Amino acid sequence: MEENIFKSLLQAGSWVFVTHFLRYLLFAGIAYVIFYHWKKRYWQHKKIQAQFPKRIKIQLEFLYSISTFLIFSAFGVAIYLLKNQGYTLIYQDIHEYGTLWFFVSIFLSLVLHDTYFYWTHRLMHTKFLFPYFHKIHHISYNPSPWASFSFHPLEAIVEAGILPLLVFILPLHPGAIIIFLFIMTVMNVLGHLGYELYPSGFLKTWLGKWNNTSTHHNMHHQYGHSNYGLYFNWWDRIMKTNHEAYEKHFEKTASRKKEKIGYLIHSPGMNGMKK
């Protein structure tokens, strides 16, 4: 009996690890191949920081991401156990709550995650917590797509905490959870892409005003004391934590033409702790 339980937990943990790793490998890998190798010169005018990260930094990003997925897997096993004991709000039959709720639950998950991320992120930037939780992530002051899950194990525990929270407060279908995780991965890779893909003037639109860009998070890695949001820009706007030069830097990169490649955004040393 105990052997069967251990086997089930091992299978659940392995499945969670493989799905997290394959999503990361797919989206970060495709982005890296396109923007850092295959079409590197074609997209060079959209590079936010002119320099490219060193190979050793990229290797560290990848290795820390692997450790993050091991921790995510442990949380996945915990959710699996809690679900089997009836402690979560995960449901199997989509008709139980309807198709409308299926999509609403995905949006609410993103809103709650964005709020969770903003406030835990700011907390990890305090002088006391930064060296132990968040410093590893900020070693990538000029991040590549591989940095999207490059966390110290303590930060990985904090980041993993959103999913147990969601399954306790929202009825979620497994399909909704999978879509949420895919969106989270794509947005994480976009934030660490190192290139600005949105067009000039995007921040003046309603969509651009309330959604974050690659420039937004790249500047967070450069300067450390601003731009804490994940998906949306409302908490940074409400709390006045957008970098004062964010719109200027975005427009500078987004409006750059292919022939104008002689540029460099200053990248100060990594500090990251809240003043």
Query: What is the per-residue pLDDT across 150-167, written as a single tens digit (0 to 9) for each?
Result: 999 999 999 999 999 999
Q: Is the pLDDT of residue 270 over 50?
A: no
Tell me if 266 is assigned to some domain. Answer: no
Range of the domain at 182: 2-254
Residue partners of 250: CB distance under 8 A and separation at least 6: 196, 198, 202, 203, 213, 215, 216
Mean pLDDT lowest among 13-17, 24-28, 151-155: 13-17
> Which pLDDT band holds residue 11 (cuts at 50, 70, 90)?
confident
Tell me if 260 is assigned to some domain. Answer: no
SS3 231: coil
**Residue 275: predicted pLDDT:** 37
| Longest CA pairwise span in the chain (Å) | 68
Residue % of the chain over a pLDDT of 90: 88
Give the tokens for residue 18. Answer: 């493989």
Tell me if 270 is assigned to some domain. Answer: no
Tell me if 275 is assigned to some domain. Answer: no
Tell me if 145 is assigned to some domain. Answer: yes
**Residue 6: predicted pLDDT:** 74
Give the tokens for residue 222. Answer: 């450069």
Q: Are the beta carbons of 177 and 89 closer than 8 angstroms? A: no
Residue 89 corresponds to which amino acid?
L
Average pLDDT of the chain to the nearest whole number? 92
Which tens digit of pLDDT belongs to each residue from 206-265?
999 999 999 999 999 999 989 999 999 999 999 999 999 999 999 999 999 886 544 444
Number of compact structural domains in the chain: 1
